[in-house]
Amino acid sequence: MLKQSLQLKLQQRLSPQQIQLMKMLQIPTMELEQRIKEEMESNPALEEGSDEKEEDEKSEDEFEEEENNNDDNDEFDLSEYLSDDDVPDYKLNANNNSPDQEDRDIPIGGGNTFHELLYAQIGLRELDEDQIQLAEYLIGNLDDNGYLRRELQAVVNDLAFALNISTSVQELEVILKEIQELDPAGVGARDLRECLYIQLKRMEASSPQIELAKTIIVKHFDEFTKKHYEKIAKRLGISDEEIKPAIEIILHLNPKPGNSMQESVRAVQHIIPDFMLIVENDEFRLQLNGKNAPDLRISKEYKGMLEHYAKTKTKDAKAKEALAFVKQKIDSAKWFIDAINQRNNTLMVCMECILEYQREFFLSGDETKLKPMILKDIADRVNMDISTISRMANSKYIQTPYGTYLLKYFFAESLSTDEGEEVSSREVKQILKDAIAGEAKRKPLTDEKLGKLLNEKGYNIARRTVAKYREQLGIPVARLRKEL
């Protein structure tokens, strides 16, 4: 049964201005300039320049001349601002995006791809048309690392069903050997062992060390991957010192030859700091990097148009539409300028709080001086929500006398010592890094031994936590750090 009723509810909703502010807050400086340009292109009421009155700088004669010109042109021709159609163009623009949807533009990379470079090389080989067609099909099946991960029999079946080409595994083997002669060395391999062996064969000067490296790859590859070098030396009947040069040669080979070409065409990303810090006599001078963000103001022409339409006594339909259009553009410009100003104020307030919280670090640059700090610590001090602090720290950088740091670098978990003092996990990671850097490479420290070392220094930390911090530092396990 359907019925109608009146209900009174309290709901909390974000206004468009609040949504715009949240978006502006998480934009780093390098994207802010582009965002301002987009807004200026879409809103003619927004223009670059300070909001100072230029009339004060004008002479009285210039001012009277402008007044006379304005008197002569009191009558506005609405046809200059409105379309001849019944419905203005701005009302026909469709916007299917939600108010809080974020636009993330993906940059288009330049340069030749890995496969295109191989296609160009295979065309220079002494192959007939049918062989080139098979070679191009095999190149298309290579993954980004340069490996052929499919069985040749599966490729034979695909060629028969998809392209109606009849071939054999033996013929594809011949074509694959041609591909393996291309640059960079190692492409077309079916596994890591074959990839390394191809690179060793391509080395110009043959030597006993290279021949020994080939033997290790062919006959003792499993022991090599597990770094059982003593076992390999024992089976070959040589000493550790004799096997060391061959191991060094293998370790300098490229296990992912396909990626080497991709790195050459990859664009270099430059970091533009959002904050710049100068330390003088134990005092901080913090500046917000506004180099690429111009000052904004509301267009005086649009202000004049708004005043004119507001004073018009007889308002027809077109005049009302023009008034609504101008007012909407001016309001949008005001909201955008306010959002920029609030963004800058929020960034400065939060960054100044971080400076005071981590004062000892910013005075010395010593990572061990970093105090445990989480988002809630800053949020409580500046009376803001944790989500606001998270947006503020997102993808932002600060330039200091000790280097350029990501703001999230200063946020770290806390650990307790035997004395009950809380220390930053960053300090523990630095101790781990120093301990691993100074370990004996023949017998690297295991996670258990690293945990005992930290416990001896007074840090209450478990082996699993040591393993987590080691992985965050990008350091492999002890077995893979072993060297001769």
Residue 444 DSSP code: P
DSSP-derived 3-state class of residue 385: coil
Work out the mean pLDDT of the chain and round it to a whole number: 80
Most confident range (mean pLDDT) of 69-78, 255-264, 439-448 is 439-448
pLDDT exceeds 50 at position 71: no
- As a whole number of angstroms, the distance between CA 208 and CA 194 comes to 20
Residue type, 50: S
127: left (phi over 0), alpha (psi -120 to 50) or beta: beta
Q: What is the pLDDT of residue 70?
A: 47
Instruction: Give me 420's structure tokens.
Output: 């009950």
Give the residue, 145 or 313, on which the prediction is more confident.
145
Domains, the chain, in order of start with CATH, read 114-264 (no CATH), 275-410 (no CATH), 414-481 (1.10.10.60)
Lowest mean pLDDT of 108-117, 168-177, 188-197, 245-254, name the range: 108-117
Whether the pLDDT of residue 83 is over 70: the answer is: no
pTM for the model? 0.55
Bridge partners of residue 405, in order along the sequence: 398
pLDDT of 54 = 47
Local structure of 53: helix, strand or coil: coil
Per 3-state DSSP, what percentage of the chain is helix, strand, and coil (rounded to 5)?
55, 10, 35
The one-letter amino acid code at 190 reads R
Instruction: Provide φ and ψ at 178, rounded to 5°.
Output: -65, -40
Find the distance separating the first CA and the last CA of the chain, reported in whole Å: 84
Above pLDDT 90, what percent of the chain?
A: 23
The pLDDT value recorded for residue 438 is 85
Instruction: Give the per-residue pLDDT at 90.
Output: 54
Say how many CA atoms lie within 13 Å of 397 toward its Cβ.
13
Q: How confident is the model at residue 93 (pLDDT cuts 50, 70, 90)?
A: low
What would the pLDDT profile of 343-373 be if each residue is shown by its tens digit?
Answer: 889 999 999 999 999 998 899 888 778 888 8
Backbone angles phi, psi at 408, to 5 degrees: -65, -15
Per the structure block, which two tokens stand in for 147? 């490996």
Q: Residue 74: its pLDDT value, please?
A: 47
Distance in angstroms (rounded) separating the CA atoms of residues 446 and 320: 77
Q: Which of 138, 119, 230, 219 is nearest to 177 (CA)?
A: 138
Task: Tell me how far apart the alpha carbons of residues 167 and 254 are, in angstroms, rounded to a whole number.
Answer: 32
The whole-number pLDDT of residue 420 equals: 58
pLDDT band at 167 (very low <50, low <70, confident <90, very high): very high
